[in-house]
Structure 1
């Protein structure tokens, strides 16, 4: 591996270019501003952390967020850069030495090493060189993050129509394209079937059609339809007997109504 250059030889202009790409350059205007003032460039903890994470990894972002950023931010109250990290401070070698020392202590769970420690100096050199190399990278062409917990992953999950259920699922086709009004409203079909019935037009079809036709015939008892004996509603030919078969008319024969041998007493 080629030896990393000295911290003093790393071009700070490259670091500033990278810094400008990630931080928010819009600063609140001072009440005394004439409109021609050049606003100082300074970054928030979030923007600097994003820079470090995407250039050199998440461990450097954690080191920045926990200790380093607060230590090197502008503490001049009333200034436009108060509570932020200036671009010039970002390019200082002490910032990178502190960042490397905190990262090593957190990674190995040991006491923070001195800033002049050989491992700290070597690590800081490599980190500054790698970040400076991003000065020519077009960040607008960067791939949308897809790691767990990021905004990109959450958006992908919430917009995946294959995960939808219930009425939401009906609004999109298999390709994910919206179905329009068809997917939102149940148009009345006038078929007489309920909305979710899937067997419309299948009644009487299939292998048991003959059984169904037989079962539709009325059962018989003694050669007559069940419950319809000749002496009641139907005659022996099956023809309806009208009122005679439905109503018992009152007669003055002196015989009980159900007696079918009226007038046969003493007759042989």
Structure 2
């Protein structure tokens, strides 16, 4: 977009801030990269540049902490404000929109922290949030660890089962079905004491 001033033409960047200041292009690129990484990890069935609400929620939790009020406000007031109404995603190729996201995040965060951020300009709050986001440039996948307490292996390793539980599985660990749960005997209708089963008697 061109804005004419006298005989001069000034080209306005698509990342111009609502407060009149210019957001760094590299800063927006870095933020987009973090958002993209969270999206890849948490929304594998979606294109990397189409950030879902699920990935957004995970990003907010990891970058801004587990404060319930902040998380709820970011989910209800920020993401719906910038998401595409059709795809319900945030287009990470639209840098102007990502820039708007950061402004909106700063406004909401300031509202959620009236005591701590009362006298802090929104622009400074934004920079704090950007720093927190960029600190998570490589989000980690938290694998479930084996419990150090309790007999977990005793519950999952059938070779360690005892008593009636042991009888329910064969040596390979495969369940025996009903044969492993109750004692079964053959009842073919012979009178008590008959020993000629299988013979011509």
TM bucket (normalised to shorter chain) is 0.5 to 0.7
Q: Report the alpha carbon displacement of residue 180 of structure 1 after superposing the two structures with TM.
A: 3.9
Look up the match of 2:133.
131
Measured against aligned partners, the alpha-carbon deviations of 1:111-163 in whole angstroms (never above 9, x if no partner) come to xx9xxx9522101112113312433x3624xx44xxxxxxx6xx978x9644x
Look up the match of 1:95.
101
C-alpha distance in 2 between matches for 1:43 and 1:11: 18
User: How many residue pairs end up in the alignment?
Assistant: 138
Query: Which has the bigger relative contact order, CA under 8 A and spacing at least 6?
Result: 2
Measured against aligned partners, the alpha-carbon deviations of 1:209-258 in whole angstroms (never above 9, x if no partner) come to xxxxxxxxxxxxxxxxxxxxxxxxxxxxxxxxxxxxxxxxxxxxxxxxxx
Q: Report the alpha carbon displacement of residue 25 of structure 1 after superposing the two structures with TM.
A: 5.4
Q: Report the alpha carbon displacement of residue 47 of structure 1 after superposing the two structures with TM.
A: 0.8
C-alpha distance in 2 between matches for 1:72 and 1:90: 10
C-alpha distance in 2 between matches for 1:138 and 1:71: 25
Q: Report the alpha carbon displacement of residue 58 of structure 1 after superposing the two structures with TM.
A: 2.7
C-alpha distance in 2 between matches for 1:41 and 1:67: 21
Please state if 1:182 is matched with 2:167: no
Structure 1 stretches of 5 or more lacking a match? 1-5, 28-38, 145-151, 165-170, 187-268
C-alpha distance in 2 between matches for 1:7 and 1:56: 24
TM-score by length of 2: 0.52
Q: Counting helix residues as a fraction of each chain, which structure ranks higher?
A: 2
Change (3 A) 1:42 1:90: farther
Look up the match of 1:203.
none
